[in-house]
Amino acid sequence: MPQGLDEIDVRILKALQEDCSISTAELADRVGLSQSPCWRRIQRLREDGFIRAQVALLDAEKLGYSLHVFAQLKTSYLADSDREKFIRSVASIPEVVECYSVLGERDVLIKVIAPDIKWYQEFIFNTILKLPGVEDISSIVALSEMKHTTALPVRVTKE
Q: Exactly one of 2, 34, 64, 156 binds DNA (CB under 7 A); which one? A: 34
Quickly count: other Cβ atoms within 10 Å of residue 111's Cβ. 16
Tell me whether residue 34 or residue 138 sits nearer to DNA (CB atom): 34
Q: Is 103 in the site for its own copies (CB under 8 A)?
A: yes
Tell me whether residue 129 or residue 156 sits nearer to its own copies (CB atom): 156
Q: Is 102 in the site for its own copies (CB under 8 A)?
A: yes
Quickly count: other Cβ atoms within 10 Å of residue 94's Cβ. 7
Q: Is 23 in the site for DNA (CB under 7 A)?
A: yes
Round to whole Å and give the CA distance between 65 and 119.
10
Task: Classify 23 as helix, strand or coil.
Answer: coil
Distance of CA 31 to the CA centre of its chain: 27
- The footprint of DNA (CB under 7 A) covers 8, 22-25, 33-37, 39-41
